[in-house]
Amino acid sequence: MTFFIETFGCQMNVYDSELVMNILLQNGYEKASAIGKADILFLNTCAIREKAVERVIHKMEQYAHYRKKGKLKIAGILGCIPQYSSERLKKELPFIDILSGPDNYDKLPQMIKESIKNKRIHEDIRLYKEQNYDNMLPYRENKFSAFVTVMRGCDNFCSYCVVPYVRGRERSRSLNEILKDINDAVSKGITEITLLGQNVNSYNWNGMTFAALLEKVSETENLKRLRFATSHPKDISYELIEVMSNNPKICKHLHLPFQAGSSEVLKRMNRGYTKEDYLGKIEKIRDSVPGIALTTDIIVGFPGETDDDFKETLEVMEISGFDNSFMFIYSERELTYAKKHYKDDVNRKIKAERQKQVIELQKRIGLEQMNGDIGTIKEVLVESVSKKRKTEMIGSTDQNRSVVFENSGKIKPGDYVKVKITDAGSVTLLGELIK
Ligand code: 5AD
Ligand code: SF4
């Protein structure tokens, strides 16, 4: 039997889908080249905002005909949406066969067998404090860059966020399991690794800190670039900043979500830092790691956010100089502290207007950051052929900036090349290949 997996949401889900692929491959299932050719379809999903949930339900409705009339025998939903609201899925998608939360992927082969025997819905949304998928490796889709999860779950309980409820308690993977995963990837020719966790700065395995883990991983032979996400401003340590500034394999890019500029709003978000704390860390990071690129996440329209609060978000953006921001409108989530205790009182128009403003400001700030690279020569990891023009390639710099350049040689994805930056847009650089 063949399977097809479509992934939604964060990088952790990309990793999990690769894990599921390998679990299925090892159990004798094969990959299908398209949904129409699959016996089993899984959507691996995200529940972080209401829009993400609606999108997946809509997608699965569009695929319903494969399940009702086509070859497809099993349609399943994996990840955070089943964990968030399996009842809703059962009601809105009555043809669904399997629902599995993020801690039950090792049981999927068994669930598939049972589902074929017995056509009722098979559901497993139990969370396990210890589930780290030990002794299981992912199937590597990408041939030169890989994600490696170093911790699962989250204990921060930011008041707006559903992650601690749908992915469970925070747990760190052992050094040995992480190294096995990385060595496996590198042995397949992968040269860029991104270590993943909801809050990598609270990594703790038998006292080993995240900074120490990075140092250890960076010793891997044939590994060229080491990245990580996501960092939390309250936990990022000077030890980590030191390691970033001294270790040439660790890429000079930091994703550091600040969410909101006003310390009052940050308090209600339960973020554990003030605006001044955040800006202080940014200053220290910029001082210690010259040329570092920063990116962030921003939420607009959190309950009680006034015009003055919002102005402080714009101010933090101006001072920090982000390359890029992920800018979201607050979406009320079940189970969260904010849903229980705060009224979602910023009106929709104002939320949309604020989002428009942050997007516009980000464009300008992004362009300023990118412009700084014009005239410099960068090492670029080639990632793909440009969709717009077949003669152009797209790659990324150490700072995770995208570069587009004419393929004047026999360059292919996975190569490292030198590119002279000639021009910049707000999210991409243009360059010329140096022979
Ligand atoms: N509404 C809007 N954005 C959210 N995020 C998390 N929860 C919510 C929510 N309820 C955003 C945060 C986080 C990113 C992954 O998603 O900015 O950093
Ligand atoms: Fe959600 Fe906060 Fe945990 Fe990030 S740190 S996953 S925003 S609870």
pLDDT of residue 408: 80
Q: Does residue 27 form part of some domain?
A: yes
- Alpha carbons 208 and 97: distance in angstroms, whole number: 42
pLDDT of residue 409: 77
Same domain for 234 and 278: yes
CB of residue 164 inside a 6 A radius of ligand 2: yes
Q: Does residue 402 form part of some domain?
A: yes
Å from CA of 123 to ligand 1 middle = 27
Task: Report the domain count for the chain.
Answer: 3
Q: Does residue 55 form part of some domain?
A: yes
Could you identify the atom of ligand 1 that is nearest to the CA of residue 336? 10
Same domain for 335 and 253: yes
SS3 31: strand
Q: Does residue 130 form part of some domain?
A: no
- Alpha carbons 35 and 352: distance in angstroms, whole number: 35
Q: Does residue 355 form part of some domain?
A: yes
CB-based contacts of 427, cutoff 8 Å, min separation 6: 324, 366, 370, 402
pLDDT of residue 231: 97
Same domain for 194 and 83: no
Best substitution site from 328, 331, 339 to test ligand 1's pocket, by max atoms within 8 Å of Cβ?
328
Same domain for 17 and 98: yes
Reported for 55-60, long-range contacts at CB under 8 A and 24+ positions apart, including other chains, are 55/8, 56/8, 56/81, 57/89, 57/92, 57/93, 59/6, 60/93, 60/96
10-residue mean pLDDT profile of the chain (435 residues): values are 97 98 98 96 98 97 92 96 96 97 97 93 94 95 96 97 97 98 98 97 97 98 98 96 97 98 98 98 97 98 98 98 98 98 98 98 98 98 94 97 92 96 97 93
Same domain for 421 and 345: no
pLDDT of residue 177: 98
CB of residue 320 inside a 6 A radius of ligand 2: no
Same domain for 166 and 89: no
3-state helix, strand, coil in the chain (%, to 5): 40, 25, 40
CB of residue 156 inside a 6 A radius of ligand 2: yes
Query: Which residues' Cβ are closer than 6 Å to ligand 1?
Result: 48-49, 160-161, 257, 259, 297, 299, 328, 330-331, 333
pLDDT of residue 224: 98
pLDDT of residue 426: 94
- Alpha carbons 163 and 328: distance in angstroms, whole number: 16
Bridge-based pairing state of the strands 2-7 and 40-45: parallel
Same domain for 260 and 217: yes
Closest Cα to residue 339, out of 204, 165, 160, 199?
A: 160
CB of residue 271 inside a 6 A radius of ligand 2: no
Same domain for 120 and 18: yes
Task: Tell me how far the alpha carbon of residue 18 is from its chain's centroid.
Answer: 14
Same domain for 275 and 224: yes
Best substitution site from 49, 83, 84, 156 to test ligand 2's pocket, by max atoms within 8 Å of Cβ?
156
Same domain for 99 and 241: no
Could you identify the atom of ligand 1 that is nearest to the CA of residue 48? 7
pTM of the prediction? 0.97
Q: Which domain holds residue 7?
A: 2-124
Same domain for 159 and 39: no
Q: How far is CA 41 from CA 100, 210, 328, in A?
A: 13, 36, 30
